[in-house]
Structure 1
Amino acid sequence: MSAAKETASEIDYYAKALKAPRIRDSAARLAEQARDIGWSHEEYLAAVLSREVSAREASGAEIRARVAGFPARKSLDDFNFEHQPGLKRDTLAHLATGAFLAEASNVVLLGPPGTGKTHLATGLGLRATQLGHRVLFATATDWVTRLGTAHQNGRLPQELAKLRRYGLIIVDEVGYIPFEQDAANLFFQLVSSRYEHASLILTSNLSFARWGEVFGDQVVAAAMIDRIVHHADVITLKGSSYRLKDHQIDSLPSTRPENTAE
């Protein structure tokens, strides 16, 4: 066996032992380039390891994105800023760095339906998976159902502790369906358990002033809002629904009674 083949065989063995088969492929592809350019041994090793790390990070991000349960893959790059001219790109760019996750801060997106709240929440969540964070996405009603099941099984404290291991939880559509008192209390416990421990992103079609209507108790709502916004970026989106921008709403039949006055 030639020296080159023997070395290739050793690399193959070591790559399998390290459970890093891509090292074998990268080493072979980069070897000729290293010889042609005159890389040092250290430069060649760094290039091979860099390819392995990049591949692992990409693979890990894809797995984290699948586990997160996003309703659709929507990135921040795809967001239509023309529909939200008041949205500060600098604010969004800063959030995309993931700094708020390191600080266990929250993001709240408020605005009418169809203004891009879920898109932005998903985009920030997707970016978090790329930065190495574990993420879970669900609607407010789905979260309450999950917590309710855990409560019924006597495992609510364990479930809340498990969820704290996720760097980011996204709660979509707060306010679309009012909560009964038990559900409101469960939601409050979710917020409280993550306060200053891990981040939340919440979207809502209602202003904070109307959250008391959702949770059926102004005191509970106020306590919840206090914990959410203590460390948070609150972004208010305005305007009409982006989903309806190409539809002629004015052409729909009016449901208002006709004015028959002369």
Structure 2
Amino acid sequence: MMTNQTLQTLRALKLTGMAEGLEQQWSQPGTHEELGFDERFALLVDREATHRHNNKISRLLKVANLKLQAYPEDIDYQHPRGLTKSQLADLLSNQWVHQHHNVLITGPTGCGKTYLGCVLATQACRHGLSVRYFRTSRLMEMLSIAHGDGRFAKLIQQLAKTDLLVLDDWGLEKMTLSQRNDLLEIMEDRHGLKSTLITSQLPITQWHKMIGDATLADAILDRLLHNSHKLTLKGESMRKMMSEVDHSGC
């Protein structure tokens, strides 16, 4: 009776990890019987800490809404696209996010830009950092709608507070004046305070032309390129090569 009451109390206090740990200790008495009270209690506290950490990561990943499930341990370094482990080792430490630097990933279609962006975003979530992922065109559309329904200021504030903003497929279309102004406001809020990750088929040398207005392009790129880490990928499409392998095996 006391056992059930203790478990109910722990769960009522939202100490789910401790409750699960206590159940495990009771169900495996032989494993824990030689441990003293302090050691068994330390195991319960550790179980609760791990439970809360895992829940936080799950919440951060849900809010990030990444396009792909992508993990550092699954990166393919064998594909000839100019990517090395040493290039990513520093980025995977997340120091660049803590230092409020940016990451710019460029390269041809299918070389894994989005995947690598989602890997770095996942790693940021694993370290307790907030992330938001957008296809650039979708974010521009959201901002345009927000102007009309009065949510623009709130959306801009949300983006400004996010530790890492991921803008995927940057530069597919030339920007309008309204989009340039919105983007400048986002970059102004984030410059030196938060980090932005961009993936693009366009080489960085063409971004100025894509943005359009020379003055606004200078202002946006000055904030974006400052303290940025650049990954320039090359080679054939990984999707195309994998498709050819699948067909050859049929």
- Fold shared by both chains (TM-score > 0.5): yes
Instruction: Find the aligned partners of 1:178 and 1:208 in 2 and give their Cα distance.
Output: 14
Distance in 1 separating the partners of 2:215 and 2:83: 31
Which range moved further: 170-179 or 238-247? 238-247
1:222 to 218, 224, 234: 218
1:105 maps onto 2:104 in alignment = no
Quick check: 1:16 aligned with 2:11?
yes
Give the letter aligned to residue 141 of structure 2: T
Hey, what does 1:150 align to over in structure 2?
146
Other structure's SS at 2:161 match = coil
Does the alignment pair 1:210 with 2:206? yes
* 1:54 counterpart residue number: 50
2:139 corresponds to 1:133: no
Task: Find the counterpart in structure 2 of residue 34 from structure 1.
Answer: 32
Residues 246 and 58 (structure 1 numbering): CA distance in 2 closer, same or farther, change over 3 Å? closer
* CA-to-aligned-CA distance 1:10-37 (integer Å, 9 cap, x gap): 532441342123312212323522323x
Q: CA deviation at 1:76?
A: 2.3
* Distance in 1 (alpha carbons) for counterparts of 2:23 and 2:199: 49
Structure 1 residue 84: Cα displacement: 4.1
Aligned ranges 1:167-206 → 2 under 5 Å: 167-206=163-202
> Which segment drifts farther, 113-122 or 142-151?
142-151
Contact 2:81 2:111 (8 Å CA) reproduced: no
Query: In terms of Rg, which structure is larger?
Result: 1
Deviations along 1:85-144, one digit per CA (max 9) or x if unpaired, are 532312312211222221121111011111111000011111111211221111111111
For 2:53, give the aligned amino acid: E
What secondary structure is seen at the aligned counterpart in 2 of 1:201?
strand
| TM-score between the two structures when normalised by the length of structure 2 | 0.87
CA RMSD, aligned part only?
Answer: 2.0
Query: How far apart are the structure 2 equivalents of 1:23 and 1:50?
Result: 8
Query: Matches of 2:152 and 2:183 in 1, distance apart?
Result: 12
- Seen in structure 2, the aligned counterparts of structure 1 residues 84 and 42 have a Cα distance that, compared at 3 Å, is farther
User: What is the alpha-carbon distance in structure 2 between the residues aligned to residue 155 and residue 26 of structure 1?
Assistant: 44
* TM-score normalised over the length of structure 1: 0.84
Shift of 1:241: 1.2
For the residue of structure 2 that corresponds to 1:240, the secondary structure is coil
Which consecutive unaligned segments of at least 5 residues does structure 1 have? 249-262
Does the 8 A contact of 2:160 with 2:186 survive in 1? no
1:82 aligns to what? 78
2:235 aligns with one of 239, 251, 255: 239
Secondary structure of 2:125's partner? Answer: helix
Say whether the 8 Å CA contact 1:144–1:183 is kept in structure 2.
Answer: yes
- The separation in 1 between residues aligned to 2:218 and 2:58, in whole angstroms, is 38
Q: In structure 2, what residue type is equivalent to 1:197?
A: L
SS in 2 for 1:67: helix
| 1:25 and 2:25 are equivalent in the alignment | no
Deviations 1:158-208 (A, max 9, x none): 322221222111000111122112112211221221111111110111122
In structure 2, distance between residues paired with 1:82 and 1:29: 43
Aligned to 1:67: 63
| Paired residue secondary structure (1:16) | helix
